[in-house]
Structures are given as C-alpha cells and as structure tokens.
C-alpha cells in the first residue's frame, strides 16, 4: 500500500536486529506479570489478540523452545501463510516464462493505481451481465435458482481474508461492507474498535485503512508466486453485482464484502496478521469468513490460528477454507505434488476441522475432482467449481485466465476459487432467515449437496455444491 516500502524496510531492520518471530500466549491477564516476562526475555513484543491473550515476540534468542515461565501457556513459531500455488502456473512455468520473455511484456505493470481513495456506492446501469454466460461454475451449482428464490445474500456480511479487494471495482463497489460506526476520513476511531477510518475493512499486512488488492507484474507472478488480484477474484465469485450490465455476477449478489488484507503482493502473510483479520471479522459483524489460503505445517498444528477460528465459532461465525492445491516444501518453496489427502498430511487451516469450518475441494467443468485438488474424508466437506473460473480482478477487469500469452495460458484454477462458491451459497441460504444459527446454515447447505462418484470417499458428504434444491 502507500507505506508498503516503509513496512518492508521496518521488517528487514527488525529481522536483522532480532531475527525470529514467535507467538506467546499468556495464561494470565495481569499486565505486571506480562511486563515482567517481556523485561526478562528482551526483544520486541506486540499485542496480537487481547481476547486470546496473544503477543508477537520478535527476538534473536535461538533457544526460545526452551524458555519456560509459569505465566506462559505456550510459545509457537509465527508461521508463514500464503496463497496456494496456481497449478496452471506450476505445471507450465518454464514455458510461460519463455513465452513471456519473448513477448517483451515481462515487466508490464498493473493496470491500476495502488491504494485509491474509497468511493461511495453509486447508481449503476441495468442490464444483463455479458460475461455471466462464461461463468460455468454458476450454472453448475444452479446459482440462478438461488437468485430467484432467496434474498440473494441480503443482510449477510462476508469477510474476505486475503490479498485485499479492489473496493472500487464497478461490480463490487456497491457490495462492499460499510462500517456504519465510522465517519470516513476524519482521522478518528469513531466506533472505538481500535482502527481509525476502517470504512470497508482493514489492511493487516501494511496496517492501514485501505485494504487494496495490490498485484505484481507478470514475471513476479510466475517466478515468486506473486498476487495476481486473488482477493478481488474471490470477492467477485461471492458477491459481484447482478444485472448491472457489467461483467459477471456472484452467487450472493446482495451480500456485503468486508475486505481484510493480510497477504501481501508477494502472495505471503503471517499467522499473527491472519489472526488479527479473523478477530476483526468476528468482532465487527461478519457472518462468514472466506479463507482461500493456508500453509503446510507437517504434523504440527498452528495452535494460535486454530484458537482464533474457535473464537470466531464462539461468536457464531462460519469459517470456509480451501483444501489446498497440493503441498509446498516450506524450505525450498518447491511443489511436493498435487492431489493430497489432508487428513494424514495436513494443510492448515483446512485440516483443523472445527465445528464452524467447511473445507472445500475443487471440481472441473466435467464434475470431476480437479487433478490438483487436495481432499480429505474427514476435514473436507464437499467439492465446488475450481477450474478456469471467471470473476472480477483489479482495475474494473474480469478474468478466467491469469496469464494469456497466445500459445500458452494459465487459467484461474484452485481450491481458492472453489471456496467462494460455497461462501456465496451459505450467504444466500442464511439470508432466507437471518435468525438461523451458523450451524443451522452449515447443515442446510451440506444436506442438499449432489452426490457424485468423483468425490465419493474423498469428502465428508460424498458430494458437490448444488443450490438446485433451495426453496
């Protein structure tokens, strides 16, 4: 964002001085006890979650695992979380790079400015959405039936925890959540929630009030797994406007998107920032959290992240998460292959399998399990469209193809794209009766899946997302 260069410099300086980041959960609320621990251990401490009694500790102490204190519940590494690797790019990277270099477009900049002022909702044109016919996933789940028989998600707030959102996109601007307790641009925390001028959400990666979806150039997208507009694409699947004569439409075109950016333009974020985003969503009125991201923690559990999702559950919030597209070796950054069973080889947070969670696998246009999609009979509940998905991207644009170099292409594929189909479906069902509990809505959705042999024995319901039975 506007301060992203400063943020990176600050991180570099902090890392050089102290080195490693950990999350410390205390078992006491006594401030003097915590301050005593801070003083004894040294380094830098930052509050992550007051309710969770959790702090980020940046230190050069390499023996942290051996630190014991009666006031501490646990000390955990502050793990990295990331956008899942796009299988189309992973499988064709060499050919894409070669074609990109020959085209001379390798440093083509994004087609939009960073961190624009937040526009107010506006009166829009009417008419059919010209790209809706290209949105095969919408027809696959019979979203039209839900559009005709429900309030289309009206009254439901969806928190998109991701790389940010183009909050001024013509198909999203009217469907952004607006913080009614905040007066825009007055420099005051009017609603006293700890965030100044958080009108449409917050940027936890750069710590500002413009959670914009900053992208990278094509070369960085291919080489570094950089952000191609991921959060905006996810948001369009959920709640792009219907019949405004532009682009496509979302599953729940009357739902509101709360933009919570914790993943940076390089496609990576941290557990502490994800926790802040989850807590913000649960504390500021979100009904559903979309989590199209994760990390591979081996046999370890990311306990602080799990506890944040549990806090959201306690406040009646659903957490819908991508199963993942294979696994990455966290040391080398190289793919360990696709089509992974999440139950024995967990990808977090999908493998947590808490009561408020719904894990989502990806299907192709033939209703087959996508060849890259992770699955899990216990942790993953159903499949949804996740190959060549048409949706919004920053700059009033639309894509089903991330990179188009003529002879070779990389499409918008992934369990990240499947997850928002489920989120939008939950929103339309919930909007039928706002007094329903989160568990009521989850159970209703899972009861109407369409059975398919493609995921039989691989997801809990043996089925795929289907809104045909919505009444």
For the CA atoms of 366, 367, 370, 373, what is the dihedral angle to 10 degrees? 170
- Is 205 among the catalytic positions? no
- Residue 211 · residue 197 · CB < 8 Å: no
Spell out a b/e string for 338-373, using b for 16 or more CB atoms within 10 Å of the CB, else e: bebbbeebbbbbbbbbeebbbbbbbbbeeeebbebb
User: At 102, is the secondary structure helix, strand, or coil?
Assistant: helix
Of 88, 246, 270, 416, which is the active-site residue? 416
213 neighbors 163 (Cβ within 8 angstroms): yes
Rounded CA-CA distance 197/256 in Å is 18
User: Catalytic residue among 82, 135, 147, 162, which?
Assistant: 162
Sheet holding 450-451, edge to edge: 201-203, 256-261, 157-162, 288-291, 318-322, 357-363, 380-385, 463-464, 450-451
Q: Would residue 379 show up in a list of annotated catalytic residues for this protein?
A: no
Q: Can you tell me the distance from the alpha carbon of 17 to that of 277, in angstroms, rounded to the nearest whole number?
A: 27
Virtual CA dihedral for 174, 309, 421, 252, nearest 10 degrees? -30
How far does Cα 288 stand from its chain's mean position? 11
| Distance in angstroms (rounded) separating the CA atoms of residues 90 and 238 | 26
Integer-rounded Cα radius of gyration of the chain? 21
Tokens of 417: 């794209």
Q: Return the DSSP state at 229.
A: S
Active site residue 162: yes
Q: Residue 374 corresponds to which tokens in the numbers above?
A: 């992770």
Which residues are known to be catalytic? 162, 230, 416
């Amino acid at each position: 964002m506007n301060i992203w260069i400063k943020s990176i410099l600050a991180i570099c300086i902090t890392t050089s001085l102290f080195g490693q980041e950990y999350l410390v959960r205390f078992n006491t609320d006594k401030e003097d006890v915590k301050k005593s621990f801070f003083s004894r251990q040294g380094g830098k401490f930052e509050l992550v979650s007051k309710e969770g009694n959790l702090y980020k500790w940046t230190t050069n102490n390499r023996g942290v695992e051996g630190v014991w204190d009666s006031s501490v519940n646990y000390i955990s590494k502050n793990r990295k979380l990331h956008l899942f690797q796009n299988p189309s790019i992973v499988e064709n990277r060499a050919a894409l790079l070669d074609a990109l270099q020959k085209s001379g477009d390798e440093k083509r900049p994004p087609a939009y400015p960073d961190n624009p002022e937040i526009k107010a909702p506006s009166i829009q044109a009417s008419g059919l959405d010209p790209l809706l016919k290209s949105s095969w996933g919408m027809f696959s789940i019979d979203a039209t039936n839900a559009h005709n028989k429900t309030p289309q998600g009206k009254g439901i707030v969806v928190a998109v925890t991701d790389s940010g959102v183009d909050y001024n996109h013509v198909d999203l601007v009217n469907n952004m959540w607006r913080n009614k307790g905040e007066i825009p641009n007055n420099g005051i925390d009017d609603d006293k929630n700890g965030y100044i001028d958080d009108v449409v959400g917050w940027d936890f990666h750069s710590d500002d009030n413009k959670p914009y979806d900053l992208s990278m150039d094509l070369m960085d997208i291919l080489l570094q797994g950089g952000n191609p507009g991921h959060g905006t694409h996810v948001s369009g699947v959920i709640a792009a406007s219907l019949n405004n004569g532009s682009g496509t439409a979302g599953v729940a075109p009357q739902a509101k998107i709360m933009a919570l950016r914790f993943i940076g333009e390089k496609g990576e974020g941290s557990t502490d920032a994800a926790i802040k985003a989850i807590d913000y969503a649960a504390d500021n009125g979100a009904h559903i959290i979309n989590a199209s991201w994760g990390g591979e923690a081996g046999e370890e559990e990311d306990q602080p992240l799990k506890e944040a999702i549990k806090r959201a559950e306690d406040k009646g919030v659903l957490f819908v998460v991508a199963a993942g597209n294979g696994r990455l070796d966290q040391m080398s950054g190289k793919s360990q292959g696709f089509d992974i069973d999440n139950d024995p080889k967990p990808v977090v947070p999908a493998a947590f399998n808490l009561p408020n969670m719904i894990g989502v696998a990806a299907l192709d246009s033939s209703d087959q399990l996508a060849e890259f999609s992770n699955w899990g009979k216990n942790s993953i509940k159903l499949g949804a469209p996740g190959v060549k998905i048409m949706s919004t991207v920053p700059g009033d644009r639309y894509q089903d193809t991330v990179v188009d170099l003529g002879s070779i292409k990389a499409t918008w594929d992934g369990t990240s794209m499947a997850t928002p189909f489920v989120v939008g479906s939950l929103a339309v069902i919930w909007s039928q009766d706002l007094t329903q509990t989160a568990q009521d809505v989850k159970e209703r959705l899972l009861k109407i899946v369409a059975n398919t042999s493609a995921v039989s024995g691989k997801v809990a319901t043996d089925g795929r997302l289907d809104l045909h039975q919505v009444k």
